[in-house]
Every structure is written in structure tokens, then in C-alpha cells.
Structure 1
Amino acid sequence: MTNIEKQEQLPITISADSGFSNSLKPLLLELEMWLNFQALKADWYGDEACILAFDFTLVRSLEDKRLDSSEEGAAAGKEWVTGEGYAYCYDSASLNTTAFIAVADLLEAGVGIEQAIKSRLVGVVNAVGKEHGLVSLG
């Protein structure tokens, strides 16, 4: 990876599981830009030694991922934190968080899906940010 590629990569990325349509890409990009901007406004990137990175993936359901049954993950010291519609694993050594955001329940409920996804994204980043004394994102 060149320096230019490193500079262009945002600390918070959002993608969708392979089962989703490519038509979601504009929404994912919009959510990614929105969340990175919220973190920038809250001065989350002020200390270059402590820039948290998040890799979000939208999935249909968390059950598909079998997060708590992975012996490999437990052996590697990876512990998944789950909440309503999300699960994440934070690695304090690298400051990286891997997270899954479930959407099937949102589709069934018929709620405003974009706002509900934002709420789940913010829930994860705020939980990890709180460990570092960062201002909560809105």
C-alpha cells in the first residue's frame, strides 16, 4: 500500500455482506462519510497515536456469523460484545474494531432503516470511544 492509499483510507469503513445487492453502495458510502465526519467534528482524530479504526459489515442477521461459538476467536483473546442488532470485537493493541450490523429485523419492523442503521453504528463507536474518554457521537 502506498502513502497515497493510506491517506485516502478512512478510519471508519462500512461494507455489506456478499448476500446484499450492489445497489446499497451509495447508502453505505453516505453512512461511512457521515460517521467519519461526526468523529472528525468531535475531535476523535486529534491524537494521532490514538485513532480508532472501525470495520463495519452489514449482515442479514448476527446468528449467521456464529460469533460466540468460535473457539479460535476465544483462543486468540477475541471477545465479541453483542447488543440489539450489532456485535463487535475491539482489539485494544491495534485500536481496530470489527463489527457486524444486522438489518433483517429492521426490514421486518418496517422502521426507517437508514436512521436505525445509524443508531447501531453510533452505538458501537460510542461504546469503544468511551473506553478512550472520547466525546460521544450523536
Structure 2
Amino acid sequence: MQQEFPMTVIADGNFSKLLNPLLAQLEMWLNFQALKTDWYANEACVLTFRFTLVNTLASQAEQIAAPSWVQEAGVAYHHDSDKLETVAFIAVADIVQAGSGIEQAIKDRLLTVANEVGRQHGLQSLS
């Protein structure tokens, strides 16, 4: 039986399946950061994240327009503190257009969301 990571990283249907190895690498990296920073020590407070890479946040405009969504440069997320669940969209079109440092820029956006939610629960920042 395979167990899912608390933090998942997927891409919306507009991306090629060739991106899957990078998505798996980002997911493993992010979960490892949380593990080494002791985010999973308290089993009653394990945060789950579902990150979705999208071209632009405008493609999700209807969903992220709700007042419960937080929007910042290149990211939009909703955190349900009762369920400890976060859904987040990470925009990549501007990153790809810049042309270099794409993977690190995506990691930075993943960390932005994870750390902001983690702070709400008294967790140490991921790096």
C-alpha cells in the first residue's frame, strides 16, 4: 500500500506529462524540507498541501476570487485551519518567461505558501 505525502505537487492539464519527473522531484524535496524541520512530529497537526502549477493565476480567477483565498505575486492559496488542508496555485508563466532559475523560482513560491501557513501553526520556516 502506497501512502501519499502530506505535500503534493501536480500540474494542471495544460502542461505536458514530460513535467512529471520535475513534479515528483519538487514534491520529494518539499516533503523532505518539512521532515527535517520537524513539521511531522505532532501527528495531530500534520498540515497537508495540494500545490498545482498553472500558467497564470488568471486561469483560476473565478475560484481564487473568494475572500478566503490569499493572493500574492505568483501564488494563490486557501488554508482550511480546521482540516489543516491547503490548496494552492503556483503560476509559472512569468518564471518560464524569465528563462533561468526556473526550478528555484518554483521552489521559492512553494516555500512562500508553506511557510506562511506553517507560521499560523507555530512551525519553523522551511528553507
- Whether the 8 Å CA contact 2:64–2:76 is kept in 1: the answer is no
- Deviation, 1:109, is 1.4
**CA-CA distance at 1:83 after TM superposition:** 1.0
Q: Deviations over 1:50-74 (max 9, x none)?
A: 00000000000001101344xxx55
Q: What's 2:106 paired with?
A: 117
User: After TM superposition, which residue ranges in structure 1, 4 or more long, deviate above 2 angstroms?
Assistant: none
Identity %: 56
What is the aligned residue count? 126
RMSD: 1.1
CA distance, structure 2, for counterparts of residue 35 and residue 106 of structure 1: 19
Summarize deviations over 1:76-134 as a string: whole Å, max 9, x none.
Answer: xxx11011101000001110000000000011112311000000000000000000110
Q: Which of 7, 15, 18 is 1:20 aligned to? A: 15
Counterparts of 2:106 and 2:100, CA distance in 1: 10
| Greater C-alpha radius of gyration | 1
The TM-score with structure 1 as length reference comes to 0.88
- Structure 2: give runs of 5+ residues left out of the alignment: none
| Runs of 5+ consecutive residues of structure 1 not aligned to the other structure | none
Q: Secondary structure at the match of 1:18?
A: coil
The aligned residue for residue 62 of structure 1 is 57
TM-score (norm 2): 0.95
